[in-house]
Structure 1
Amino acid sequence: MIAAPEVVAAPLLSVQGLTVSVRDRGVVRPLVQDLSFDLRPGETLAIAGESGSGKSITSLALMGLLPANVSVTSGQLLLDGTDLARLPEAAMRPLRGARIAMIFQEPMTSLNPVQTIGTQLTEAIRAHEPLGRAEARARAIEALRQVRISEPVRRMRQYPHELSGGMRQRVMIAMALALRPAVLIADEPTTALDVTVQREVLDLLRDLQAQTGTAVILITHDMGVVAETADRVVVMQAGRMVEEGPTTRIFAAPGAEYTRELLAAVPRLGTGAERNAPLPPEAPVPVARLSCTSVHYDIGANFLGRPTHRVHAALGVSFDIRPGETFGLVGESGCGKSTIAKALAGLVPHEGLIEIGGKPLSSLTAREHKDIRRDVQMVFQDPMAALDPRMKVGDAVEEPLVIHRIGTPAERRARAEDLFRRVGLTPDQMSRYPHEFSGGQRQRICIARALALRPKLIICDESVSALDVSVQAKVLALLQELKTGLGMSYLFISHDMAVVENVVDRLAVMYLGQIVEMGTRDQLFGNPQHPYTQRLLDAVPIPDPARRSRSYLRPTGEIPSPLRPIGESPPPAELIDTGGGHLVARYSD
């Protein structure tokens, strides 16, 4: 008996010979050349490659959102047989969002800063569906609940700047999912998310595909996410496709040398145990010390205008950072990691004690504060928001030297050029503006700026989350080189547990503004004690498609919140030493 031939679904989206070019100073040069692929209903296609390889430009071409000086110069973008590249804006507008939607890489620049989250969500829904205001609001709240944002009704009244980077990214995902499009382009959708929410969002995308047949184009540099999510992979380098095929084949037997290099650079959980370097010794005066540090924000107002509720962003946090040490801070989005970083940098008011080099921040004069900022520099999570869009990036890197009156103009220029080379950029790029770079390249510029003053402590707030794995490996090696050569210390904040394991000496795990476990790298990764730490490690994506089916217990119930009525505080986490300085908060079984 002859078996019936397998029926292959017709492509929902077909990209044929796509070439996208930019006109720069009268010269036309290609950004993407001769790219072709098909996407079928319910399929997940990953487009992987280094920052600047043309991944995001491809997605913008599909959405009809290319900048004015960039255009599709040849090829076809066929969605249900309609060539999107030839559609006028008036014809493209009803398709955008309803039939083909996109989750953008940088949530802060994608959300309107002067409109509430609720206004933006309901506006997107009502623009494409004939719903009343109340029905659209209910749909928006449900979308926020699906991406596990705590207190979705309250979040509807908030503005983007009131949310953490990870929570803003979840809002963008909720906005795209609310319309249930036929094609969803996810441009680094989990870059700003911690591993547990990343796992939940990826599961949510899979659920959506199962229910509606939505096809997903996943643009990412995280090969662990590719392995666990994608059916097929397109690998791009310098605007060209170097390899394409099923995910299992790409990971098992990559044909291109570039693909092999890309996979080799992926940090893997468990490899950190290969490092046997001793911990930096305790010093009489640590680089930084926090003791019972708390940060809170009062919100709401009663009829007398007094606040009614308090957000306990950080509560009773205590740790120190030794000279030459990398101290890690991990936890879910909104747990207080970035709040602690800002308090340490003197950017938000705090209670308790914070010392830099033995000097309490609360007792410093304005002049002393300026000197402290020379010793403490910060690399922020959102590189586009951290750079002045009207300033050339070379000037941005030189600016700290100008403010602190270091060197002559020629010496400042020379140091900036050296820093550009060290973070994988070239000196001739110094005359460009931030919008001319990819997200990963902008983050490298921010790292170069932080290094300009050669500080004693650098606070890295998700500083490598926007970088592709090969550049990420180079930047982490650079940070290690500076640490070894200059005795520099780092507060390394990240949701990527594999990266954390490979770079930190000690770390603390935060949950709802409090530390629940703290110890050396080997203690926490080799013998995690707190259930929350165990859940973080279980959620880490593994760059092996064969292990995609491993079980993961999804959280259920209402998401806990750090918001309490005025006068009511969360119970403090009592840390118990389980041996060797491994501190674990008490918890109920």
Structure 2
Amino acid sequence: MTSTPEPILTIANLRVSVRGEEGAREVVSDLSLTLKRGQTLCIAGESGSGKSMTALAIMQLLPQPAARISAGKIHLGATELTALDDRRMRRIRGDRIAMIFQEPMTSLNPVLSIGRQLTESIEAHTSLSRDEARQRAIEALKAVRISEAESRLRQFPHELSGGMRQRVMIAMALALEPDVLIADEPTTALDVTVQGEVLELLRDLQQKHGTSVILITHDMGVVAEMADRVIIMRHGRMVEEGKTSDIFARPQAHYTRELLAAVPRIGSGAGRQESRDAEPPRPAKVAEVTDLHVRFDLRGGVFGRVTRRVHAVEGVSFSIAPNETLALVGESGCGKSTTAKALAGLVPYSGDIVVGGRNLSGPGRDERKAVRRDVQMIFQDPYASLDPRMRVGDLVAEPLLIHGITSKEERRERVAALFDRVGLSSDQMELYPHEFSGGQRQRVCIARALALRPKLIIADESVSALDVSVQARVLDLLKELQREFGVAYLFISHDMAVVENVSDRVAVMYLGQIVEMGTRDQVFSNPRHPYTRRLIEAVPVPDPARRRSRFARLDQEIPSATRRIGEAPLKLALSDVGNGHLVAAEG
């Protein structure tokens, strides 16, 4: 009879309390779990469920003095972490237990080179010399498949893409071969292909080193692809725990069933018949973009001469009809957000942008201001786009004030009506942004975007940072508002499952150009360009029975859109392959 191996990590009856103005409250209550060697345990749930606080408690990194472990024990092997002082805990962090945070740019020191940050942690936990630590740092970068690893040591975080920075974080976490790796939302902000690469990388390194992984995420597709066991948390408590296959096939808790039902799935939007098909012919397009170019000059050398040029957007053309959602998809750096900023008049461009029959580059300042009233934006991070010193009612009324629309009393009445329409109460108009949840803050941003009754709303990654159930509610709200006001959406996202469920038409961008464009069904049911197929194939499927043995691997980073002065970019020509389905061919 074989003996069961001892768990590498054990949590027993953990309670974490946070002290606030109204006294202490528990954010983690009576949590118990075990993690075996080489196992992947996923902790899933909405924001505020206690996932990240659990991870910080394990690492003994709770924000002091506001948060503390009020009860329970955490054992790493035979070592009780809750009994260690700061000095002994610092020796364990990184060496035996490591953590990858959600946003690598805020986790990496912007003033230190990648090499300095890597070697610093290696030298702190080993007796290696500086040269030996440098060699191990190079090997760690190679292990996470970063090309030209030696030269990367001299670079700074801002010189790397988001996917590269996350790989550096993984290299730092695994350089000392820890027993346990905690990954807190490691792929939430990444494009779908880079996400697949990072998840595949975690699998490879886990198999090589036998590392146990705690993966914290709200992406149930990632859970299905990666987890051996799953814990579902809500309001600080574990509501369900079990094997991944059981959780997805036979969820017992009502909350788990709600969470799984809210997950967008590729295919659930295909073939959908909209009532708008029976509508009369549509009026003129809300927005028409023709041969749009956006380029940025890069200066270098002693005299600051222009040496290179970023071709961020190259010859993009598309149109959007009233009551229509055009989704713009692609990886980071492909030009999606730059196109949106040009459409909103926020960056200089060449080409034509016509909104409501008027050219955005009109002759007069007042005319340009009038055109821009018709185009509003909803940004990815609602907290960063709301002034924390202003009440949310004033933030929603601000566009009306800027454009001199209505009296003070009428503005207040319109704002109250907008709050009601987006599912908030007029009483909340007097609150500040920090007093709302993430989903509520995004509703405030939607209300602000609607204040001027625009013809076009640009939603730039507007739901990517939201939990899956909150995301579903916000998307439903956007659909309702579209039916009510007839507003058109330019929906920018890297989440192909969300795009497939909300869009009427889809445009796929790569290196500043559109490589495929057509109806939702044309693009998702019959993708013709290799890049489009790669994007769709990289989407994790929220079904453990369809778990892939390997993710599609990227051999290298996306090629740069930067060119030397005088060097012409590659031109792509779109050809109609049938019924308006446009696919790029090199020209």
Equivalent pair of 1:150/1:561 in contact (CA under 8 Å)? no
Pick closer, same or farther for the CA change 1:208–1:24 going to 2, 3 Å: same
Pick closer, same or farther for the CA change 1:274–1:86 going to 2, 3 Å: farther
1:193 and 2:190 correspond: yes
Match of 2:252 among 251, 255, 269: 255
Match of 2:6 among 4, 10, 17: 10
Q: Alignment partner of 2:306: what SS?
A: coil
* Structure 2: runs of 5 or more not aligned: none
Q: Alignment partner of 1:315: what SS?
A: strand
Q: TM-score, normalised by structure 1?
A: 0.87
Q: Alignment partner of 1:191: what SS?
A: coil
Aligned to 1:486: 485
Pick closer, same or farther for the CA change 1:304–1:27 going to 2, 3 Å: closer
Instruction: State how far apart, in whole Å, the 2-side matches of 1:372 and 1:171 are.
Output: 44
Instruction: State how far apart, in whole Å, the 1-side matches of 2:161 and 2:397 are.
Output: 29
Aligned to 1:41: 37
Instruction: State how far apart, in whole Å, the 1-side matches of 2:422 and 2:89 are.
Output: 39
Compare 548-557 and 323-332 and name the one that shifted more. Answer: 548-557
Aligned to 2:242: 245
Q: Residues 350-398 of structure 1: CA distance to partner in whole angstroms, max 9, x if unpaired?
A: 2222233233333364444444443322222344543445556565455
Instruction: State how far apart, in whole Å, the 1-side matches of 2:417 and 2:75 are.
Output: 45
1:73 and 2:78 correspond: no
Alignment of 1:12-411 (within 5 A): 12-67=8-63, 68-112=65-109, 128=125, 153=151, 157=155, 160=158, 169=166, 172-277=169-274, 278=276, 285-363=284-362, 365-391=364-390, 396-404=395-403
How far apart are residue 345 of structure 1 and its match?
A: 1.9
Q: Residues 506-559 of structure 1: CA distance to partner in whole angstroms, max 9, x if unpaired?
A: 111111221110111111011111111111111111111111135554233565
Instruction: State how far apart, in whole Å, the 1-side matches of 2:166 and 2:473 are.
Output: 26
Q: Alignment partner of 1:60: what SS?
A: helix
Instruction: State how far apart, in whole Å, the 1-side matches of 2:139 and 2:440 are.
Output: 35
Pick closer, same or farther for the CA change 1:511–1:216 going to 2, 3 Å: same
How far apart are residue 203 of structure 1 and its match?
A: 0.5
Q: Which amino acid aligns with 1:36?
A: S
Instruction: State how far apart, in whole Å, the 2-side matches of 1:418 and 1:106 are.
Output: 36
How far apart are residue 334 of structure 1 and its match?
A: 1.9
Compare 295-304 and 109-118 and name the one that shifted more. Answer: 109-118
Equivalent pair of 1:52/1:238 in contact (CA under 8 Å)? yes
Q: How many residues align?
A: 583
Compare 253-262 and 55-64 and name the one that shifted more. Answer: 55-64
1:585 and 2:587 correspond: no
Aligned to 1:549: 548
Equivalent pair of 1:424/1:471 in contact (CA under 8 Å)? no
Pick closer, same or farther for the CA change 1:535–1:210 going to 2, 3 Å: same
Aligned to 2:498: 499
Pick closer, same or farther for the CA change 1:50–1:580 going to 2, 3 Å: same
How far apart are residue 431 of structure 1 and its match?
A: 6.7
Compare 529-538 and 283-292 and name the one that shifted more. Answer: 283-292
Instruction: State how far apart, in whole Å, the 1-side matches of 2:518 and 2:77 are.
Output: 55
Alignment identity in percent? 65
Root-mean-square deviation (CA), in Å?
Answer: 3.4
Pick closer, same or farther for the CA change 1:368–1:481 going to 2, 3 Å: same
Instruction: State how far apart, in whole Å, the 2-side matches of 1:90 and 1:395 are.
Output: 48
Equivalent pair of 1:166/1:192 in contact (CA under 8 Å)? no
Pick closer, same or farther for the CA change 1:148–1:551 going to 2, 3 Å: closer
Instruction: State how far apart, in whole Å, the 2-side matches of 1:290 and 1:133 are.
Output: 55
How far apart are residue 285 of structure 1 and its match?
A: 4.2
Q: Alignment partner of 2:32: what SS?
A: strand
* Structure 1: runs of 5 or more not aligned: none
Instruction: State how far apart, in whole Å, the 2-side matches of 1:124 and 1:388 are.
Output: 37
Equivalent pair of 2:455/2:488 in contact (CA under 8 Å)? yes
Q: Which amino acid aligns with 1:41?
A: R
Compare 228-237 and 134-143 and name the one that shifted more. Answer: 134-143
How far apart are residue 144 of structure 1 and its match?
A: 6.2
Compare 368-377 and 128-137 and name the one that shifted more. Answer: 128-137
Q: Residues 188-218 of structure 1: CA distance to partner in whole angstroms, max 9, x if unpaired?
A: 2211122211111111011111111222211
Equivalent pair of 1:326/1:505 in contact (CA under 8 Å)? yes
How far apart are residue 71 of structure 1 and its match?
A: 2.1
Q: Alignment partner of 2:494: what SS?
A: coil
Instruction: State how far apart, in whole Å, the 2-side matches of 1:301 and 1:432 are.
Output: 47
